[in-house]
Amino acid sequence: MAQPTEEELTEAQLQRFTSARPRIPDNILGDNLPRRLSSLPVASRNCGPARVDLGGLDVLPLELLQWILVRVDLLSLSIFRRVNLRAREVVDSIFEYQIITTHARDALRGSKAIGTSRWFSCKDLYDKLCTAECEGCGSFGGYLYLITCKRVCYGCFWEHSSYRPITHTEARRYYGCSRKVSRSLPSMRSLPGTYSEGARIHLTKMSLVDAEAAIQAGIALHGSSTAVSDYVERIEMERARRIDRRAIGKITMFLSCLFCWNRRSYCWYFNGIGDPVRFMAVVRTPTLDKATRKLEWGFFCKACQDEYGTQRFFRWVSDSKRIYTVDSFAAHLKERGKIEEKVTEGGVRLYHRPRPR
């Protein structure tokens, strides 16, 4: 059987060696949204002509009104849309709004569910829908981080601290933000559900803020990123001294050291793919080509998914959860080697044959 090469990939090869969904569910916000039609904005039905106008706003040309509304945050736009039938007609006539209600429905529903629709506009969401690159690494970004509406890939949102929301208490403790400042930062209210690859059930609603915004607020307060780092280090040292003073006897100290060792050993898990907070503001979202009006969801490599347990954990997570396009998948095969089949006790499995050096 012909195997895929770096130069050309046929449709049959893509169907055989790729999958549209990950083998292990992501358990992100999009997987926990209630499937209710009432939570989705719908186009205006044929209700006849509007009997009530928009008052002074009707003086403005429709094009100018659309230009203004598309730059208003989504929460205000949703409230304006419910004013009367005329307002609904105007909002539904906005091109960008028509596109996102058709192709970014989970992003709209997710931002409404966690209360982040006030932090970005209809135009912001449309621009991210038409952007394919992850803002962190430049690879194909198949997800949207909904607190600040950023296009991200799986590797960035489960690993980078910028996409791990923090509590208001953490913002005040680690960055010196006052209560007033922390409440002004882009924030969210978590939706109870099952999150992370470990399928951890989280039933408590949490108020979280964007970590990057908290860092920038800390820099504005302390003067520089170095000053923020010094402040965080000083706070951690003071906290450690308080813990040391509370430790009673050698047994307690031993258990404390053992806990710290285990914490360092497994922090990559609890702060990464095992941390449910990282998955509470992320939805899977396709990209839209403005020229062709075609959607690109991307796909996963079956060979990388079949190699679970045969390589280092971080490498498996990075490759098995990466979303590819046709071009990036060809580059992936060039890097990892072409895909071949092997018969095992569990059946036929796919693997990458290493390229000769």
Distance of CA 3 to the CA centre of its chain: 34
pLDDT band at 266 (very low <50, low <70, confident <90, very high): very low
pLDDT given at position 320: 78
List b or e across 153-172, with b for residues whose CB sees 16 or more CB atoms inside 10 angstroms: bbbbbbbbebbbbbbbebbe
Quote the CA–CA distance of 39 and 256 in Å, as a whole number.
48
**Overall pTM surpassing 0.75 (yes/no):** yes
Mean pLDDT of the region 331-350: 82
User: Span 109-132, mean pLDDT?
Assistant: 96
- The Cα–Cα gap between 143 and 145 comes to 7
CA distance 106 to 100: 10
Nearest of 171, 338, 192, 221 to residue 279 by alpha carbon? 192
C-beta separation of 85 from 50 below 8 A: yes
Cβ count within 10 A of residue 188: 23
The domain spans of the chain are 1-20+298-357
- H/E element, 153: none
pLDDT at 293 exceeding the cut of 70: yes
Lowest mean pLDDT among 142-146, 209-213, 265-269: 265-269
- Separation between Cα atoms, residue 148 and residue 210, nearest integer Å: 8
Give the mean pLDDT of the chain: 82
More reliable by pLDDT, 253 or 96: 96
- pLDDT tens for 205-249 read 999 999 999 999 988 888 887 887 787 778 777 777 765 555 444
Give the tens place of pLDDT for each residue, 36-72: 644 555 555 555 566 677 888 888 999 999 999 999 9
Please give the pLDDT value at position 130. 97
Which residue reads 């629709």 in tokens?
Answer: 117
pLDDT class of 112 with cuts at 50, 70, 90: very high
Q: In 3D, which of 176, 177, 195, 173 has the Cα closest to residue 186?
A: 177
- Token digits of residue 80: 């304006």
Q: At what angle do helices 122-129 and 74-81 cross, to 10 degrees?
A: 120
Per-residue pLDDT at 230: 81
